[in-house]
A and B are shown apart, each in its own frame.
Chain A
């Protein structure tokens, strides 16, 4: 998939995206919004941070769906990932955890995610669970057991302040104008996510394994005939998606610095937005990451509005990403899903 080819295939999407940005600009000028105070380096940095967990979850989810399994449980796996990461930080570092503890906690949360997404994958692939309903179940399980473990550990659905990820500064490069502070003086997780997005794209479109994943979702019979186990490819993709969502939750925690288990928990719909991000990115990992950046930016607008002195209720500004999702889905609703999504595959042997 070359860049020119991508533009050719997604003319409508790209055109509408440009139209949305232009419309926003026109509105900003018409309403005389202090643009300079809204779009700042800090805003771009915060947007990148906010986009990171969404992008990671989206990349995982799109692999699963490409392989023919709709993993609608991303939100639930993110909640569990965040709760587990918080628990590990607490168990490792107690009251004053270090950066090292935080990295270990992220790793631990991903490993635990691997275990329960394996169980989830068995229910989906082997026992042919209804993918939609089972995915919703994961959400409920996360909403229940996430805060449950917080209450066990801290006697409260919210954790005390733990530790958040420090920015890293790449010498020399950080001094570049604009790009420097945004890209080279930021959370290492932001950079890692950019690398993951590119790698995910390369694997999906440039390796044999990526073709297997795509074939498992588009034409499982052909893949089977070619002697590759559809079941195995799907297992791998579902487990990858759950582990990525777990990582996304852990990253969310690492940026926030503490676990929030009240209401819809600190994940607060980001897993669902992740699903929309990869639909919006037309199952392209880089497109999904770009869409995640759009939602991350919308999420961070409230801080900008405050600092720019624009009087809008926080609660209403907080709704921007959700409204955007509904609009995006309506305009781009007819993205073509892989043809075998949702259908269990049984080999003939």
Chain B
């Protein structure tokens, strides 16, 4: 997919999504529901009114951040399947640090702002460190990062789940949740009057995209990263330390996942719950990044698509009988087709639609 032209990529992404949706509709019909109503419900759930749009943008914000986290690693030829775990650890660290620091700082706007910044910083550090671990294991132990990052997801969910159930459960909480972060630590509502979405969160995500793009394109570090992904031998010859690049790539990727965790914890939850029940943004992120051909800028439209799908899924879960898990399956199909560009190239050649270039 990386060797395709921009236009080809767009075509493959569109065709993959369309084909996956078409299969989804067939499944809907086979399960005895009306596919036309289902499509209408999906559109309404994603963009129907201000509420839906706010919800779509809320999911989009998280998808942009986790998608960029995945894209950084994939770009460098490292598979970070552990974004979910880094996202959980980052978000949890954010909540815990805000809860611990809150009594030390003045309440009110200034204190709130300080706590936002400090909490996010802790989230970034925690996410980065948790991602650096599989990086170190790969670089110096030869451990396959695909498997270790997946195992570390399970481990992160288990440990954070244990902590919110027992030692760090908020006082008097029946549910396994931490205490709530103070009222004054929240993102201001702009344009959307929603308790769990703020345009400021979306702006943070876009700023991160810009920073990551600049780092990848304009800095020595980014250049080394991408070269070692594409031409490992060449990178080694030009003096890049392969092991160190792997570790720093993973750490960078995990830091962005940490931002995602922080935004999720502050903007959406306001406390931390058992991560076994938290949506699997970190996995969908892989689909987001692939759809964007691992380009940080391309992640934004891809995240909007997935944000829309998830928002539609929420709407469908409430307003129709079709099980919303269908959306997860459709996401899987999108990934499957994105992994198979050859399928569409051949189809294009057969039908004579711009298949002349390979």
* Residues on A facing B (Cβ under 8 Å): 72, 76, 123, 127-130, 132-134, 136-145, 147-148, 151-152, 157, 261, 263-264, 268-269, 272, 275-276, 279, 313, 315-316, 318-319, 322-323, 325-326, 329-331, 333-334
Contacts and interface: CB of A to CB of B under 8 A. Distances in A.
Given A129-B340, A129-B342, A143-B332, 17 more contacts: A72-B146, A127-B342, A127-B343, A139-B283, A140-B331, A141-B332, A141-B333, A144-B328, A144-B329, A144-B330, A148-B325, A269-B150, A269-B154, A323-B151, A326-B151, A326-B155, A333-B144
Interface in B309-356: 323, 325-333, 335-336, 338-340, 342-343, 346
Given A139-B332, A329-B148, A144 B326 contact: yes
Contacts of B137: 326, 329-330, 333
Interface of B: 1, 27, 31, 79, 81, 137-138, 141-144, 146-148, 150-152, 154-155, 158-159, 161-162, 165-166, 276-277, 280, 283-284, 286-287, 290, 323, 325-333, 335-336, 338-340, 342-343, 346
A315 B154 CA distance: 11
Contacts of B339: 123, 129-130, 133-134, 137
Which 3 A/B pairs are nearest by Cβ-Cβ distance? A144-B329, A140-B332, A144-B328
Contacts of A138: 332, 336
Contacts of B1: 130
12 contacts: A123-B339, A136-B286, A136-B335, A137-B333, A137-B339, A141-B333, A144-B326, A144-B330, A148-B27, A276-B147, A319-B155, A329-B148
B290 to A, nearest CB: 6
B159 A325 contact: no
Contacts of B290: 133
Contact of B329 (A129, A145, A319, A333): A145
Contacts, number: 153
A137 B343 CA distance: 16
A290 B232 CA distance: 36
A148 B325 CA distance: 5
Given A138-B336, A144-B327, A322 B154 contact: yes
A79 to B, nearest CB: 11
A272 B147 CA distance: 7
B342 A136 contact: no
Given A144-B325, A333-B142, A319 B283 contact: no
A148 B147 contact: no
Given A148-B326, A329-B143, A333-B142, A272 B335 contact: no
A91 B276 CA distance: 30
B146 to A, nearest CB: 7
B336 A134 contact: yes
Contacts of B277: 263
A195 to B, nearest CB: 28
B151 A272 contact: yes
A138 B286 CA distance: 13
B31 to A, nearest CB: 6
A275 B144 CA distance: 11
A254 B138 CA distance: 37
Contacts of A141: 329, 332-333, 336
Given A123-B336, A136-B335, A272-B151, A319 B158 contact: yes
A247 to B, nearest CB: 21
A330 to B, nearest CB: 4
A137 B336 contact: yes
A49 to B, nearest CB: 21
A133 B146 CA distance: 11
B276 A263 contact: yes
Nearest to B343: A127
Contacts of B81: 136
B85 to A, nearest CB: 11
Contacts of A152: 31, 323
Contacts of A151: 323, 325
A152 B323 CA distance: 7
A197 B290 CA distance: 37
A316 B323 contact: no
A140 B141 contact: no
Contact of B331 (A132, A134, A144, A279): A144
Given A133-B339, A315-B158, A330-B141, A272 B332 contact: no
Contacts of A279: 144
A245 B97 CA distance: 43
Contact of A137 (B31, B142, B162, B332): B332
A145 B336 CA distance: 14
A208 B27 CA distance: 42
Given A133-B338, A140-B331, A326-B148, A157 B141 contact: no
B329 A326 contact: no
B310 to A, nearest CB: 12
Contacts of B27: 145, 148
Given A137-B336, A147-B325, A132 B154 contact: no
B159 A316 contact: yes
Contacts of A137: 332-333, 335-336, 339
Contacts of B329: 140-141, 144-145, 148
A335 B308 CA distance: 43
Contacts of A326: 137, 143, 148, 151-152, 155
